[in-house]
């Protein structure tokens, strides 16, 4: 038998009914406000996601276009600090058509810049900013060779310095596949604008 509701009788029942109605109204209002806040939040998230999807590639294109004519003299490079040198190498890679990030920090395991190119694969740069006349030794080559592939998944490893390299370092790098950029090569790359993958040169991979 279906339940039948009757009107409240007496002041006590009328007061109880009023309290119940008020509680229901407050609950409905709270739920409505919560749903409204959720809708506004979700809409904001959707708009931010859409903005990121649209603006991200535009910003990347703008950055690439801005760096297309980048030229750095050796005097400018020599005046940099260690981290500025790493950022400069990143920008030079971007100028040459790579996507690249500065990743150098304490414990970076011989990787200061990591980049990717559709025809040359993944590259790791180890930056050695020095005073003019200082030469990078063969120990750096050992370290880069030991981490570039196994740790960073690199296809190409390069040691870049604004100074020089010892004969042993250059010979060892040439024999075991660690490329190097000394002061003369850096001038061709940074100041003259010759792309790194032409300067070294780097092998080309088939597309697809």
pLDDT score at 152: 96
Where in 4-120 does DSSP place strands (E)? Answer: 99-102, 113-117
Inform me whether the pLDDT recorded for 11 exceeds 80.
no
Place of tokens 């297309």: 68
Close Cβ partners of 136 (under 8 Å, ≥ 6 residues apart): 128, 130, 159, 161, 163, 164, 165, 166, 169, 180
Task: Name the residue among 198, 200, 197, 199 with its Cα closest to residue 121.
Answer: 197
Asked whether the CA dihedral 144, 150, 151, 153 is positive or negative, the reply is: positive
pLDDT score at 45: 58
Over residues 99-125, the pLDDT tens digits come to: 999 998 887 888 999 999 999 999 999
pLDDT score at 107: 79
How far out from the chain centre does Cα 131 lie?
29
């Amino acid at each position: 038998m279906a339940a039948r509701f009757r009107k409240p009788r007496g002041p006590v029942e009328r007061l109880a009914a009023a309290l119940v109605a008020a509680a229901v109204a407050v609950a409905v209002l709270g739920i409505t406000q919560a749903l409204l806040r959720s809708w506004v939040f979700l809409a904001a998230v959707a708009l931010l996601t859409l903005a990121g999807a649209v603006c991200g590639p535009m910003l990347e294109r703008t950055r690439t276009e801005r760096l297309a004519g980048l030229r750095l003299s050796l005097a400018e490079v020599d005046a940099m600090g260690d981290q500025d040198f790493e950022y400069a190498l990143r920008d030079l890679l971007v100028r040459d058509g790579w996507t690249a990030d500065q990743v150098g920090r304490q414990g970076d395991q011989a990787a200061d810049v990591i980049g990717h190119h559709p025809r040359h694969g993944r590259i790791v740069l180890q930056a050695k900013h020095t005073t003019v006349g200082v030469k990078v030794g063969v120990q750096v080559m050992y370290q880069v060779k030991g981490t570039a592939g196994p740790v960073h998944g690199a296809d190409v490893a390069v040691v870049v310095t604004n100074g020089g390299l010892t004969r042993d370092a250059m010979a060892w790098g040439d024999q075991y596949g660690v490329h190097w950029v000394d002061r003369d090569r850096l001038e061709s790359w940074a100041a003259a604008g010759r792309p790194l993958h032409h300067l070294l040169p780097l092998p080309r991979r088939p597309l697809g």
